[in-house]
Amino acid sequence: MTLADRVAAAVPAAGGVPRPVVTAPDAVLSRPGEPVDPADGKTVALAADLLATMAAAPGCVGLAAPQLGQGVRVFAVDVTGHPRAGASHGALVLCNAELVRASRWRVGREGCTSVPDLTGDVKRAGRVVVTGQLPGTGEPVTVTTEGFEARALQHELDHCAGLLFLDRVAGAHAIHRRQVYL
């Protein structure tokens, strides 16, 4: 059973409700999120809402709980079918995730649904290892990935840490209209 299959079994995506996305400068976006109990029904409902909100937003490949106004450490990523995605684990939702290894650093263009109409050049690892827990079961998992999916995971980890991509932009000249939503 793939990681995405295990997420789908634990999170009733059909039960999720698309919610409004919080935009900067809302304070919830600048505060580190609190750890969650992955088995708590509220965490599972939040995971379903993250997936439903992503599905309702064209081009969205990642969304974190702070973007839905919840100051906790839960995020969803799904780069499936995106033209920049090589590696893809499918729809992932992780609780209390941490970056444990990063390599192959590169600058790449990013945007964010919480920072409308802007993109910027951000240096991120091209290969990462992330650990976390699955919502519903609390099963510990490790995700090893690269390329665009690695960038998306790091972007959402930043949201859970109270950071926006703008906190990592390499110079003010780098800001333009967005093309990719993370």
Q: Please report whether residue 181 resides in a domain.
A: no
Confidence of residue 113 (pLDDT cuts 50, 70, 90): very high
- Kindly state the average pLDDT of the residues 46-61: 93
The reply to whether 180 falls in a domain is no
- 45 part of a folded domain: yes
Is the pLDDT score of 177 beyond 50? no
Contact indicator for 43, 171 with CB cutoff of 8 Å? no
CATH of the domain at 10: 3.90.45.10
**In 1-87, where do the E strands start and end?**
62-64, 74-77
Tell me, yes or no, whether 133 lies in a domain.
yes
Catalytic residue among 98, 110, 149, 156: 156
pLDDT tens track for 152-169:
999 999 999 999 998 888
Q: Which domain holds residue 111?
A: 3-174
Domain count, the chain: 1
Token pair in block for residue 68: 């839905």
Domain assignment present for residue 107? The answer is yes
Predicted confidence band of residue 10 (pLDDT cuts 50, 70, 90): confident
The per-residue pLDDT for 6 is: 79
In a domain? residue 182: no
- Whether 179 is in a domain gets the answer no
Q: Where are the alpha helices (DSSP H) in the chain?
A: 3-10, 41-56, 147-160
| Residue 40 domain-assigned (yes or no) | yes
Look up the pTM and report it.
Answer: 0.89
Among all chains, which residue has been given the structure tokens 């599972």?
44
Q: Which helix (H) or strand (E) holds 151?
A: helix 147-160
Answer yes or no: 139 catalytic.
no
Judged against a pLDDT cut of 90, whether residue 4 lies above it is answered with: no
The whole-angstrom separation of Cα 116 and Cα 120 is 12
